[in-house]
Every structure is written in structure tokens, then in C-alpha cells.
Structure 1
Amino acid sequence: MAIKAVLFDIDGTLVDSNDYHIAAWQAVFEQIGATFDDQIVHDQIGKGTDMLVPTLLPDTDEDEQEKMGQEHGKIFKTKYLERVRPFAGARDLLAKVKQSGRQVVLASSASSDELEHYVDLLDAEGIVDVSTTADDVEKTKPAPDIFATALKKLSSLDASEVIVVGDTPYDIEAAAKCGIAAVAVRSGKFSDETLKAAGAVALYDDVAALLAGFEGSPLNHWGRYRIH
């Protein structure tokens, strides 16, 4: 079945922000006297607060998690958001998908105001058809809610008619729970083994590489690929 919409993660996929999120989380953990290696925190990036904090600090209650998430958001937006830059080829890939007759969807664990910032940063307001954020769902990735909500907004489409592009295993796992296949990019600095184990149907170095190989990619020729 032909692909009619592409669901893009944002952080680490379209924009180079993962290291800044690590720094913001480390500042939050420092405030409460918790210490983690950067790699430990990195390996949780792609999750929202509701999934990240309980993994690293399982004894925190929901109120504490919410406060930590709010503090992370404050630090990230104050110190780092303006430093985030799009990856090369990010806007061009969105435009290529749009020009190919497919719908462009932004499906992120970021907040709605961060998404608005990124749409402006990518100059993508006239390109994006649908978007979902952490503000739209009860649970963030790797729960399926964000992609499931996006699929509902694409009410005329079946899961087999859409595909996800993401940089973390949590994107891929969340997509699979909705029956959606996912292409992974290495720009989020997760290993090939991790991305393949999560179920990625194809790997590309970054969105520029995906753009360069668009014609033969799963975004354009799905028939040769399937969820492993």
C-alpha cells in the first residue's frame, strides 16, 4: 500500500537538540542531588518526563515528576532553545515529502510551544499538515499515544499508509505499537544495534541522507520493506 503521510519526530531528527536536553536534565538532577553519567541520560532522550524520570528515579511520585519536568522545560527554554539549529536538509526533506503528494506530520514528545518554535525555525508553517505534542496525550513515547493521536487526525488513513521518521528507539517502539513502520536516522547518536533491535526498517545517517536517497527510500517505495 502506498505511503500517504510521513510522521516526523523533531528533537534529534529534524533539529540538533538532544545534547541540550541532556544538559537541561543534568541541571535538574543536580538540583536534587542526583548524579548520572551523560550517556545514561542520553539513552533516555526521546521520552517525555512521564517516562524518563521514573526510569532514572523510580521512587519519585507523580507530583515530583511533574515539578522536574517543569524545571527541565524552564531550563531548556531559557538556556538552550535559541541555540538549537535544524539539521542540514531538514526543511528540504519536509518540502520533498509535501511535493510528493504526501501529508507532513510533526509528532513529538516536545511541548506545544517548543513545536511552534521549531516550525518557525524550520520555516515549515506552510508545509506541515498535522502535528501532535506531549500536550495532546496522556503518555509520551515509547507509549503509542503521540503517533496514535496523529493517526486519528489523519482520519482517512490506515497505519499501513503512514511511516515514521525518528532518531530514538522510543520513536520506533511507539510507532510499532500503532502498527506503523519507522525509519531511523543516526543523528540522535543511538547505535545501529539499538535502532535495529527496536524495529527500524531502514537506517540513514541523517535527514540529508534520507533526502538524497528519497526516491528509493521506504518513504517513497514502501513495498520492499516491512516491520521486522
Structure 2
Amino acid sequence: MTGDALTRDASLTPNRLRLAVVDMVGTTITDDGRTERAMCRALAEHGVEPGSTRFESMLGYARDTMGFSKMTVFSHLFEDAAVAGSANKVFEKAYDELIDDGGVRAIPGAEDAILWMRDSGMQVCLATGFGRHTQNMVLESLGWMGLADLSLCPADAGRGRPYPDMILTAVLALDLDDVREVAVVGDTSSDMLSGVRSGASLIAGVLTGSHSEATLRAAGASVVVDSIKQLPLLVEKREARHL
């Protein structure tokens, strides 16, 4: 067999999964609507009257773009960059205050799924649309600092979802050879789209967060499961087919 033929055969061999890039709110944790409450406070403190048509329109956009960098969301909602930056700061401060009451909790089975992946030889990156300070606050509140191999926020990568930057940053940081060795897991269309754009081979939607199965599949999900609790079985079945 020639070298070219070997290369072609290798290109057809399915890649084993070495990394899972996993979303936080809605996928591994639940915050009982605290993200939306913090968003409402940020809008109200920047002159948007609660209950008004403008308020509901802005809040609707924020819901539709769950998973996006929050700074990106505010930059869309407010034309003035200074106002957008101020709104983002209010959001982060409000969210920090809201998680102090212990209302941010792990989704059942999430921690076990992460530990299973690491025990099976995969690396795990926890990714978020929050800023670094808020992400760390959430991880600390759950006792999850160090649970994953890596945690990333949009500022770490350049752009947040739906761009693939955080996934590609994780690939580089964790020294993978091929983006096809990546699984992307999330509850929003932006998670799915970022996975598609990155070239990840497994793009798994979960139904514990913002978006429906139809929305996740339309955005590129290769599979949709009820929760991250089912991810280990999904990975096991996929890997068994590749032996």
C-alpha cells in the first residue's frame, strides 16, 4: 500500500474522542433563572422600562442567544459601547449576588459524567458565555475548581459562541492533534453552531436548558439526549463502534 493510500485510509478512520468541551449553565448546572434575573436588572438599570415592548424585545433576544458571550449580547442591545460595557458589569455584579444564596446547583449526574470522561482518558473543558470572574464564582460555589482539565470564557479565546474560538483554544491548550477528537456538549443552538464551525466530530445537545430538540438539531446537533447524565453511555457506544 502506498503512502498516499495509507493517508487516505487513515483519513477515513473515525477519531477516538480525547476532549469534551462542555457548556455550564443549562448543561452541567442549573441556576433557576438567575441568568435571566441578572439580565433584567442590567436592562432596568440602563433605562429600559420593565414590561415595556422594548424590554420584552431585548429580553427575548437574550433568551434566544443564551450561550453567547454576555458582552456580545449587550453590544447588540445597546449601540453605545460604553453603555453595553456598563450593562455587562451590572449583569455580572447582579449574578454574583444571586449565586450567593446557593441557588446555582449541579444538574444531576453532571459531576459523575465529567469524572467518568476523565477516568476514561478524555480531557474536559468547561466553557461559558460569562466573564472569567463570574465563571470562577460559579465553579467555586459548586466546589468544582479543578474538576475539569480546563475552563474557558470568551475573553480567554477572543470570541464567545457561536464562534468556534473557545473550542479551538481548548484544542491548542490541551495539545490535541485533530479537532475531530472533540465532543461538544451544550443546551443551546449557539453551542451546537460553535461545534459545527469547529469541526468537532460529536455535537451533543441536552434538554436540561434553554432550547428544544428541534432547535438544537436545526443548529447542527448530531445527537440530542435528555441530559449530560447520558453522555458516558453515548460515548461508550460511539467508541465501541470504532474499535
TM-score range, shorter chain: 0.7 to 0.9
Residue 105 of structure 1 pairs with residue 125 of structure 2:
yes
SS of corresponding position for 2:36: helix
- Corresponding residue for 1:88? 108
Q: Give, as a single letter, the amino acid of the residue that structure 2 aligns with 1:80.
A: I
Q: Contact 2:38 / 2:91 at 8 angstroms: preserved in 1?
A: yes
- Corresponding residue for 2:227? 206
The alpha carbon displacement at 1:39 in A equals: 4.7
Greater displacement, 25-34 / 182-191: 25-34
Residue 30 of structure 1 pairs with residue 51 of structure 2:
no
The alpha carbon displacement at 1:110 in A equals: 2.0
Structure 2, unaligned runs of 5 or more: 1-14, 49-53
Determine which structure has more spread, i.e. the larger CA radius of gyration: 2
Match of 1:6 among 17, 20, 23: 20
Match of 2:96 among 61, 68, 77: 77
1:78-227 matches, cutoff 5 A: 78-80=97-99, 82-180=102-200, 181-208=202-229, 210-211=230-231, 214-215=232-233, 217-218=234-235, 221=238
- Corresponding residue for 1:45? 66
Match of 2:87 among 68, 78, 82: 68
Query: Please, what TM-score do these two structures have when normalized by structure 2?
Result: 0.81
Q: Contact 2:32 / 2:103 at 8 angstroms: preserved in 1?
A: no
Q: Deviations over 1:84-117 (max 9, x none)?
A: 1111111101111111111111122222233333
Percentage of identical aligned residues: 24
Q: Deviations over 1:35-70 (max 9, x none)?
A: 116554322221112321244x2x512222111111
Q: CA RMSD in A?
A: 2.3
The alpha carbon displacement at 1:22 in A equals: 0.9
Structure 1, unaligned runs of 5 or more: none
**C-alpha distance in structure 1 between counterparts of 2:130 and 2:90, whole Å:** 14
SS of corresponding position for 1:221: helix
